[in-house]
């Protein structure tokens, strides 16, 4: 496979790279320290068309694909992961379910504003008692005439409580199969619907300039027409969404891993100790060589998974491999970058401190490392 970027994708990469360095880098540290959502940066991302990258032009998108989204995510995450995860969740979890499973009316209603970044969408899957066991969903939705009545709660939901959040797609049990297993469906809940309560932002270890909340639903009524796709298909829908999302998270993790290299190479040239740059020491050079190797191979992994996906080929195993490997090396590179920076690596004014704090969640979100290993083993023919 030739994974060299086409001229169009290379132009996109350079554009996002310049935006990340010229617009995001000078400002994001202050937002991060204040645990504040960077609305002005997100609005600019919307004007650039980044939220519409993989969607058709007829719905306000850019007519690209998931590979293009991954390119943008990697370049953003080389500088900051809070901004990158806001884009990733807004596209992969917020807008993509509507694009893949929505009716024409639902697409016309929501996608143009989601693609422009005017509003953000969120995906309400994880529950306080659920975690990786999304099949154990306890949130319920009961049909009452022309409405669904939703009760339950969700946790760790990205983009769910910003001033520009427009909707949350919620998974809920809408009935039972003959064998007693739950029928899980997806339902669109617009922000501001009575009974839909958004908690205060979490106090997080990392991703501090992104929005993450707990949600509760108390007799929330939405029209029956807000059902996304077929009733009882919510579980299958989120499995597809997570397969694709793992490719996007892998691109983001690769960006963080590469950002650690970028910052460490620069510091190794600038920092002098014992009369010479620390980069002249072989111990530092070998650390940097290993970091670059890991970032490069993570990129090959997500490029491969994304190429298979956009070609319509099976990619579940490759997505799990890419997500598992890239998240692991993001943590490894962040640790090494902090070590290279010494005491300065522990100071929040240096980007590697953010990268260190932001890296760990990549081994957890959108499928833990243990879940990825389980998926890979299953693709090798071993039953779970």
Provide the pLDDT for residue 136. 80
As a whole number of angstroms, the distance between CA 237 and CA 239 comes to 5
- The C-alpha atoms of residue 361 and residue 370 are separated, in whole angstroms, by 13
Specify whether 340 is located in the same domain as 280.
Answer: yes
**Domain limits for position 349:** 236-379
Token pair in block for residue 172: 């809920």
- Angle subtended at Cα 169 by Cα 163 and Cα 173, rounded to the nearest 5 degrees: 140
Find out whether 298 and 322 touch, Cβ atoms under 8 Å: yes
Contact indicator for 276, 268 with CB cutoff of 8 Å? no
* CATH number of the domain that residue 265 is part of: 1.20.140.10
- Same structural domain for residues 50 and 83? yes
Boundary residue ending a domain (101, 120, 139)? 120
- Candidate list 127, 214, 292, 366, residue with the active-site label: 366
If asked whether residues 57 and 138 sit together in one domain, one would say no
Radius of gyration of the chain (CA): 21
- 347 and 246, same structural domain? yes
DSSP label of 350:
S
Burial class (CB in 10 A: 0-12, 13-18, 19+), 288: buried
| In the block, residue with structure tokens 């969740």 | 89
Which pLDDT does position 92 carry in this prediction?
96
Q: Is residue 100 part of a domain?
A: yes
Asked, for residue 2, whether it belongs to a domain, the answer is no
Any idea which residue has 């995001």 for tokens? 24
How far apart CA 90 and CA 164 sit, in angstroms, is 11
- Residues 128 and 115 grouped into a single domain: no
In a domain, 384, yes or no: no
pLDDT score recorded for residue 224:
97
Give burial (CB, 10 Å; 0-12/13-18/19+) of 200: exposed
The pLDDT, as a whole number, for residue 238 is: 87
pLDDT at 384: 60
**How confident is the prediction along the chain (384 residues), in pLDDT tens digits per residue?**
677 899 999 999 999 999 999 999 999 999 999 999 999 999 999 999 999 999 999 999 999 999 999 999 999 999 999 999 999 999 999 999 999 999 999 999 999 999 999 999 999 999 998 766 666 899 999 999 999 999 999 999 999 999 999 999 999 999 999 998 899 999 999 999 999 999 999 999 999 999 999 999 999 999 999 999 999 999 889 889 999 999 999 999 999 999 999 999 999 999 999 999 999 999 999 999 999 999 999 999 999 999 999 999 999 999 999 999 999 999 999 999 999 999 999 999 899 999 999 999 999 998 999 999 999 999 999 986
My answer on whether 195 and 319 are in the same domain is: no
User: Is 197 found in the same domain as 219?
Assistant: yes
Specify if 1 maps to a domain. no
CATH number assigned to the domain comprising residue 172: 2.40.110.10
The residue from 177, 204, 231 where one domain ends is 231
Give the pair of three-digit tokens for residue 314: 């099976």
Given 90, 105, 120, which residue is the final one in a domain?
120
Residue 11 shares a structural domain with residue 110: yes
pTM strictly above 0.85: yes
**Rounded CA separation 31/287 (Å):** 31
User: Domain check: are 303 and 365 in the same one?
Assistant: yes
| Judgement on whether residues 179 and 134 belong to the same structural domain of the protein | yes
Rounded to the nearest 10 degrees, the angle between the axes of helix 234-270 and helix 66-77 is: 40
CATH number at residue 110: 1.10.540.10
Annotated catalytic residue 366: yes
Q: What interhelical angle do 7-19 and 66-77 show, nearest 10?
A: 30
Are 104 and 25 in the same domain?
Answer: yes
Residue 98 lies inside a defined structural domain of this protein: yes
Contacts 24+ apart (CB under 8 A), 189-193: 189/124, 189/150, 189/217, 189/220, 189/222, 189/226, 190/166, 190/222, 191/165, 191/166, 191/167, 193/220, 193/221, 193/222
Does residue 172 sit within a domain?
yes
Domain count, the chain: 3
Same domain, 77 and 132: no
């Amino acid at each position: 496979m030739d994974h060299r970027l086409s001229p169009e994708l290379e132009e996109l990469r350079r554009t996002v790279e310049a935006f990340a360095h010229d617009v995001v880098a000078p400002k994001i540290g202050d937002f991060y320290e204040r645990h504040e959502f960077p609305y002005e940066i997100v609005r600019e991302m919307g004007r650039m068309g980044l939220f519409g990258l993989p969607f058709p032009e007829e719905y306000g998108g850019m007519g690209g694909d998931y590979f293009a989204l991954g390119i943008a995510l990697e370049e953003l995450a080389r500088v900051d992961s809070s901004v990158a995860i806001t884009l990733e969740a807004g596209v992969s979890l917020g807008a993509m379910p509507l694009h893949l499973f929505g009716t024409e009316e639902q697409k016309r209603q929501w996608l143009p504003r989601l693609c422009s970044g005017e509003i953000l969408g969120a995906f309400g899957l994880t529950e306080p008692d659920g975690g990786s066991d999304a099949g154990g969903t306890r949130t319920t939705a009961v049909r009452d005439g022309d409405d669904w009545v939703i009760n339950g709660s969700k946790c760790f939901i990205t983009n769910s409580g910003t001033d520009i959040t427009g909707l949350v797609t919620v998974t809920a049990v809408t009935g039972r199969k003959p064998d007693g297993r739950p029928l899980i469906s997806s339902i669109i809940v617009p922000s501001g619907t009575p009974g839909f309560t958004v908690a205060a932002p979490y106090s997080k270890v990392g991703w501090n300039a992104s929005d993450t909340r707990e949600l509760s639903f108390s007799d929330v009524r939405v029209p029956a027409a807000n059902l996304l796709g077929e009733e009882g298909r919510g579980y299958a829908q989120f499995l597809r969404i997570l397969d694709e999302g793992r490719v996007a998270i892998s691109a983001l993790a690769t960006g963080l891993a590469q950002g650690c290299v970028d910052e460490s190479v620069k510091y190794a040239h600038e920092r002098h100790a014992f009369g010479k740059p620390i980069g002249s020491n072989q111990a530092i050079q070998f650390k940097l060589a290993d970091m670059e190797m890991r970032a490069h191979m993570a990129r090959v992994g997500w490029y491969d998974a994304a190429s298979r996906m956009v070609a319509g080929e099976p990619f579940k195993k490759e997505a799990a491999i890419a997500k598992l490997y890239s998240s692991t090396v993001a943590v490894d590179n962040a640790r090494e970058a902090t070590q290279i920076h010494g005491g300065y690596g522990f100071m929040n004014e240096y980007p590697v401190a953010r990268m260190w704090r932001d890296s760990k969640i990549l081994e957890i979100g959108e499928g833990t490392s243990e879940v990825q290993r389980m998926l890979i083993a299953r693709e090798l023919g071993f039953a779970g």
